[in-house]
Structure 1
Amino acid sequence: MRKIAIIDDAKDSRDFLYYLLRDDYEIARYEGGDEALREFNRNIPDLVIMDIRLHDLDGIEIFNRIRQDQRLRNTPVIAVTANAMAGDREKYLEAGFDEYISKPIVDMEVLLSAIRRLIS
């Protein structure tokens, strides 16, 4: 079963994604970037879904650390944020994120289709 790491400091967001994806994927939930990056040393995910605004590290910083790690550099990363601004999608895709989705996630199929596309 493919592994998805969810990094989000909002428990309700982590839980929502867990319940949405748990039947089809092995899910690991992390409250912060430091915790996730430490765990990635032992358990490499097939895909990361990450909130951009976290309490410990900025999502861009975590993303850059993922891309600098030889073992993780090809791992697809989906950026999600509740504070979507005009131009954010383009900004994050240009930064190298594989997908960008704003919260609340209203159309689940957009997320599910992105996941299938990125880890097929």
Structure 2
Amino acid sequence: MASKKKVLIIDDDSRNIFALSAVLKARGFQCVSASGAIEGIGLLTSDPEIGIVLMDMMMPEMDGYEAIDQIRSNQEIAGIPIIAVTAQAMVGDREKTLAAGADNYASKPIDVDYLTAILNEHLN
């Protein structure tokens, strides 16, 4: 049952990973993390227990938009839900993120109850 709740957090800021992991673990989710998109995509392809991705959209090397595109074009992992987690909360950012292939969107600072509801919706 716990494997269904495995969440991959991809974020270049270790403080964000720490905070999200702590909150989600307290709510019964198993978390793994990657400090960048390339590492995260590697984890996705190697760990079949990952049920959902929380993707930071603003990262160096490869941003969340490019990472989503790469995930969606890989048949092995294309169906995994991706929730964009971003500080970009301007008019149109949500639509841009969803158009890029994200399944949902949560702006920072994170509303934990909202995020938990999204995770439960996609994982159950």
Does the pair score TM above 0.5?
A: yes
- Report the equivalent of 2:107: 102
SS of 2:102's partner is coil
Q: Is the 8 A contact 2:9 2:31 kept in 1?
A: yes
Provide the C-alpha distance between the structure 1 equivalents of 2:88 and 2:46, rounded to a whole number of angstroms: 32
Q: CA deviation at 1:38?
A: 1.7
> What amino acid is aligned across from residue 118 of structure 1 in structure 2?
H
Q: CA deviation at 1:84?
A: 2.1
Q: CA deviation at 1:98?
A: 0.7
2:71 matched to 1:66?
yes
SS of 1:72's partner is coil
Q: CA deviation at 1:113?
A: 0.4
2:42 matched to 1:11?
no
Q: CA deviation at 1:36?
A: 1.1
Question: What number of residue pairs does the alignment pair up?
Answer: 119
- Report the equivalent of 1:28: 32
- Report the equivalent of 2:44: 40
Structure 2, unaligned stretches of length 5 or more?
none
Structure 1, unaligned stretches of length 5 or more?
none
> What amino acid is aligned across from residue 4 of structure 1 in structure 2?
V
Q: Which residue of 92, 96, 115 maps to 2:97?
A: 92
Structure 1 stretches of 4+ with a deviation exceeding 6 A read none
Q: CA deviation at 1:25?
A: 1.8
Provide the C-alpha distance between the structure 1 equivalents of 2:88 and 2:98, rounded to a whole number of angstroms: 16
Percent same amino acid at aligned positions? 35
Q: Is the 8 A contact 2:6 2:30 kept in 1?
A: yes
SS of 2:46's partner is coil
